[in-house]
Amino acid sequence: MAATARAGALWLLGQVLAEGRLLSELTGTAQHLRLDPAERARAQRLALETLRGLEKADRVVKPYLRKMPPLAVRNVLRLATVELCQGGDAHGVVNEAVAHVRRGKRTAAYGGMVNAVLRKVALEGPAKWAELRVPHLPKWLRQPLAEAWGGATVAAMEAVHFAGVPLDLTVKSDSREWAARLGGALLPTGSVRLTAPGQVSALPGFGSGDWWVQDAAAALPVRGLGEVAGLSVLDMCAAPGGKTLQLAAGGADVTALDISEGRLARVHENLARTGLSAAVVTADALAFAGGPFDAVVLDAPCSATGTIRRHPDLPLVQRGEAIAGLIELQAALLDHALTLLKPGGRLLYCTCSLLPDEGECQIEGARARHEGLRVMPGAFDLPGVAPDWRSDEGGLRLRPDYWAERGGMDGFYMACLTRG
């Protein structure tokens, strides 16, 4: 099992680091699905841990290399180094790494080198690993984040990114009971957090649809709408559907809209599993003319820089070139969303971005463009929301370093808007 999982992890690393593909694009591919569920989960975990520790692994290995080997060999060294420095069995890790390299036509000649390097890493690597700094974000992202939040805050975010991520659940009802049943912790905002969940689909309550996976930060925007029973609500960019499920569980008449039919398949699956209902529509949100609605939830497409603790591949694949276009799209979606509201209706805008241009600045821009548009700061007077999470324009700014002692949270921005 371990060998197959390691081979699967190396394939994932190759796709991310050589082909520039995101892990989220790879988990449904035929190559990945050849592994059984337990092996797939282990392969993903190994790949994630390696990507989080990439900078450290390279620094540990570098003194033992006379010249840089091909990427495929470097990835074997990286994966094995992360395992060895985190307490993996040296015999199994080294032998499997060498065997993997020797099986490849283009890498077979590096078998002896890999064996020699990893034997040294097994002896000296853990001590070096412990001395090295927490891996830094790439410069294209670290610099604007430091300008926005300060260097010390960015360092705190990086520490949370490197620590890995627990699993958060949103529960249909009785979060306290489910926290106890699953051996988790009930977070101040109402989410349930598990630190070592194992295979998600094997957990009690998954098959019966009593809960769904959703980061605690991602669960807060919809809670800002308060009681939604009987309200017509448009979830404007709905996939993968966490907010749709929250709204449906609250008794809203939900329309789940997304441009991607493939991504909406997840929404259909989750609705079926949880026994909840929503009208699911595949359409371009900018051209959608339904409604009017009592409320619109716009979780706008964004850089997703707030999700790096769960997606360490993201800053390695992206380089920031698309952000300007995303900012334009967010403004256009925000403007259009306002046309879909009933008089007195509410627009909940949010992004899983750490960049103010995709959050606070969007709200300031929208208010300048639309006379009478105002922020409703009281929307987020919610249990567990700390005063220093609030932003100057009336929204809520969440960062990974919040709740660091509990495992952090995703970076998110949210604001509730209305006219008049």
pLDDT digits (tens, 9 = 90+) for 86-103: 999 999 999 999 999 999
Q: Write down the pLDDT at residue 325.
A: 96
Q: Distance between alpha carbon 231 and the CA centroid of its chain, in Å?
A: 29
Higher-scoring residue by pLDDT: 301, 4:
301
- Which among 74, 138, 140, 85 is positioned nearest to 110, based on CA atoms? 74
CB 278 within 8 A of CB 254: yes
Q: Write down the pLDDT at residue 33.
A: 83
Q: How far is CA 370 from CA 294, 335, 336, 417, in A?
A: 19, 8, 11, 11
CB 299 within 8 A of CB 236: yes
Which residues face 109 on adjacent strands? none
Q: What is the mean pLDDT of residues 271-293?
A: 96
Q: What is the CATH number of domain 2-131?
A: 1.10.940.10
Which residues face 258 on adjacent strands? 282
Residue 133: other Cβ atoms inside 10 A: 12
Q: What is the mean pLDDT of residues 126-131?
A: 97
**Nearest-angstrom CA–CA distance, 298 and 296:** 6
- Looking at the predicted structure, is the pLDDT value of residue 400 above 50? yes
- Give helix 216-223 / helix 242-249 axis angle, nearest 10°: 50
Q: Write down the pLDDT at residue 166.
A: 95
Residue 200: other Cβ atoms inside 10 A: 13
- Looking at the predicted structure, is the pLDDT value of residue 46 above 70? yes
**Nearest-angstrom CA–CA distance, 398 and 220:** 10
**Nearest-angstrom CA–CA distance, 60 and 53:** 11
**Degrees to nearest 5, angle at CA 50 with 32 and 84:** 115
Q: What is the mean pLDDT of residues 332-346?
A: 97
Q: Write down the pLDDT at residue 41.
A: 87
Q: Which fold has domain 167-419?
A: Rossmann fold (3.40.50)
Q: Write down the pLDDT at residue 333.
A: 98
Q: How far is CA 208 from CA 38, 174, 399, in A?
A: 21, 15, 32
- Looking at the predicted structure, is the pLDDT value of residue 420 above 80? no
Four-residue CA torsion sign, 282, 288, 292, 293: positive
Query: Which residues are known catalytic residues?
Result: 352
- Looking at the predicted structure, is the pLDDT value of residue 81 above 90? yes
Task: Give the pLDDT band (50/70/90) at residue 212.
Answer: very high
Domain spans of the chain? Answer: 2-131, 167-419
Least confident of 116-125, 169-178, 195-204: 195-204
With a pLDDT cut of 90, the percent of the chain lying above it is 91
3-state secondary structure 157-177: HHHHHHHCCCEEEEECCCHHH
Q: Write down the pLDDT at residue 115.
A: 97
Q: How far is CA 293 from CA 230, 254, 360, 406, in A?
A: 11, 10, 24, 37
> Edge-to-edge, what's the strand order for the sheet holding 167-171?
185-186, 192-194, 167-171, 211-213
Contacts 24+ apart (CB under 8 A), 45-50: 46/5, 46/6, 46/9, 46/79, 46/82, 46/83, 47/8, 47/9, 47/12, 47/13, 47/16, 47/23, 48/23, 48/164, 48/312, 49/82, 49/86, 49/164, 50/9, 50/13, 50/75, 50/78, 50/79, 50/82
Q: What is the DSSP letter of 28?
A: T
153 φ/ψ angles, rounded to the nearest 5 degrees = -65, -40
| Residue 335 structure tokens | 């403007």
pLDDT digits (tens, 9 = 90+) for 165-198: 999 999 999 999 999 999 999 999 999 999 988 8
Task: Give the pLDDT band (50/70/90) at residue 1.
Answer: very low
Q: What is the mean pLDDT of residues 401-419?
A: 97
**Nearest-angstrom CA–CA distance, 290 and 127:** 60
pLDDT digits (tens, 9 = 90+) for 230-242: 999 999 999 999 9
- Looking at the predicted structure, is the pLDDT value of residue 283 above 70? yes
pLDDT digits (tens, 9 = 90+) for 257-277: 999 998 999 999 999 999 999
Q: Write down the pLDDT at residue 4.
A: 83
Q: How far is CA 416 from CA 268, 295, 349, 377, in A?
A: 27, 10, 6, 7
Q: What is the mean pLDDT of residues 381-398?
A: 96
- Looking at the predicted structure, is the pLDDT value of residue 121 above 60? yes
Pairing of strands 341-351, 211-213: unpaired
Q: What is the mean pLDDT of residues 332-358?
A: 98
Q: Write down the pLDDT at residue 2.
A: 43
Q: Write down the pLDDT at residue 29.
A: 86
